[in-house]
Amino acid sequence: MNRVAVRLVLSHLVVALLGGLATVVVVRALTPVIFDRSTGMGQMMGRGPGSGTQQQVRTQVVDALTQAIGVGLLVGVVAAAGFGVLAATRLVRPLQRVGETTRLIAAGRYDVRVEPPHETELAALADDVNTLGRALAETEARRTRLLGEVAHEMRTPLTVVDGYVEGMIDGVLPTGPEELGKVSDEVRRLRRLADDLSALSRAEEGRLALQPRPADLAAVVTAAAERLRPQAEDAGLELVVTAAGPVEAVVDPDRVAQVVTNLVGNAVRATPPGGRVEVSVGTKAGAAVVTVADTGEGLAADDLERVFERFYRVAGRRREGADTGSGIGLTVARGIARAHGGELTAASDGPGRGARFVLRLPTGRPAS
């Protein structure tokens, strides 16, 4: 009884039976009245020996109509059952195909597709399943690519550390501050990669740890941006930081600095020499607003949201030889913004025309 097809057939039968029974009741109740009125028998009833015959005729008419309706009811029930089976088949088959496809997708077959049926609602469901399959395929491709990139990122510092340590053990290299400093640099590189992956996991699970406290957001943003000034100057860029006075907000200063560092670092990498990176902080409509704008490579309209997807990086966006990053910084940055009850968005006039990232934060305490 819990199967959709059975319920659909039974519903057709119930409708047919109720309609037939209602028709029988109405016909038996109204036929004598209408018959008497149309033949004038109502006035002649009881006026002579023919009245019994007239009564018999009326009864026979009612019985004949009832029998005819009974036959029609039987035919209607059979037809309703047939149409119910047909309707159930047309409904259940597409649902079965959708179910088979989702099971294949769950098993990792992201290339399978559901053929959209003719029914509008079922076609919309099939399109949703196909969209899910494509999205999972893209995510899996990015995940696979990330694993390869993480392995590559780890292999380089591990090779350097291994080489230096072996050299020191064999006495080929001295254990002086310079050599140990290079080993320390590679260890910090590995730690940064591990921290990025850990932050990504916490951001996607909605469990980023915040320690909010009253702070001057202008001072936090300015300090974070100024730490990257040497990097901007080495890249031949002009870095401009402006703040419209103190901006008081209840935030986690370290997390906000992490977001600003990521945004400014991305802007520096995306902007060719001679370009400009602007960082501004102020208030608008009762919220604190931090804007990082550059005159660099810009973004296409389709990439304005996708840059926040984990592992996604715009194809051909980075200059040759530049640090491409891990592709998860913006995902973590948006997670931090939302953990504060704010939002991080991107805007651009198109490729080659620069990009703007806007961080909006409430000035009150973020929701726990």
| 255-305 per-position pLDDT tens digit | 899 899 999 999 999 999 999 999 999 988 888 999 999 999 999 898 888
* C-alpha to C-alpha distances, 78 to 21, 56, 75, nearest whole angstrom: 15, 33, 5
Does 223 score more than 50 pLDDT?
Answer: yes
For the record, the structure tokens of 242 come out as 């402006």
Across 97-121, average pLDDT: 82
Between 269 and 29, name the one with better pLDDT. 269
Q: Domain map of the chain by residue range?
A: 4-109, 132-204, 213-362
Q: Which of 7-11, 167-171, 184-188, 347-351 has the lowest mean pLDDT?
A: 7-11
- Cα(48)–Cα(366) distance, rounded to whole angstroms? 97
Does 95 score more than 80 pLDDT?
Answer: no
Q: What is the CATH number of domain 132-204?
A: 1.10.287.130
Q: Are 15 and 98 in contact (CB under 8 A)?
A: no
Across 40-67, average pLDDT: 64
- Cα(105)–Cα(97) distance, rounded to whole angstroms? 12
DSSP assignment string, 268-300 = HHHS-TT-EEEEEEEEETTEEEEEEEESSS---
Across 104-112, average pLDDT: 83
C-beta neighbour count of 14 within 10 angstroms: 13
Domains 132-204 and 213-362 share a fold: no
- pLDDT (0 to 100) of residue 320: 45
Buried-state track 143-182, b at ≥16 Cβ within 10 A, e below 16: eeebeebeeebeeebeebbeebeeebeeeebeeeeeeeee
CA terminus-to-terminus distance, the chain = 46
- pLDDT (0 to 100) of residue 352: 87
Beta-strand pair 248-251/276-284? unpaired
Instruction: Return left, alpha or beta for 274; rule: phi > 0 is left, psi -120 to 50 is alpha, else beta.
Output: left
Mean pLDDT score of the chain: 80
Q: Which of 35-39, 46-50, 303-307 has the lowest mean pLDDT?
A: 46-50
Residues of the chain with pLDDT > 70, as a percent, come to 80
- pLDDT (0 to 100) of residue 51: 58
| Domain 213-362, CATH class in plain words | alpha beta
pLDDT band at 130 (very low <50, low <70, confident <90, very high): confident
Does 346 score more than 90 pLDDT?
Answer: yes
Beta-strand pair 248-251/213-216? antiparallel
Between 83 and 213, name the one with better pLDDT. 213
- pLDDT (0 to 100) of residue 345: 95
Q: Which of 31-45, 70-84, 150-164, 215-229 has the lowest mean pLDDT?
A: 31-45
- pLDDT (0 to 100) of residue 225: 93
Between 231 and 28, name the one with better pLDDT. 231
Across 24-41, average pLDDT: 67
Across 228-251, average pLDDT: 91
- pLDDT (0 to 100) of residue 321: 46
Across 229-242, average pLDDT: 93
Task: Please state whether the predicted TM-score (pTM) of the whole model is above 0.85.
Answer: no
Q: Which amino acid is at 367?
A: A
Does 102 score more than 90 pLDDT?
Answer: no
Does 47 score more than 60 pLDDT?
Answer: no
pLDDT band at 64 (very low <50, low <70, confident <90, very high): confident
Q: Which amino acid is at 7?
A: R
- Cα(85)–Cα(6) distance, rounded to whole angstroms? 8
pLDDT tens figures, 146-176: 777 777 778 878 888 888 888 888 888 888 8
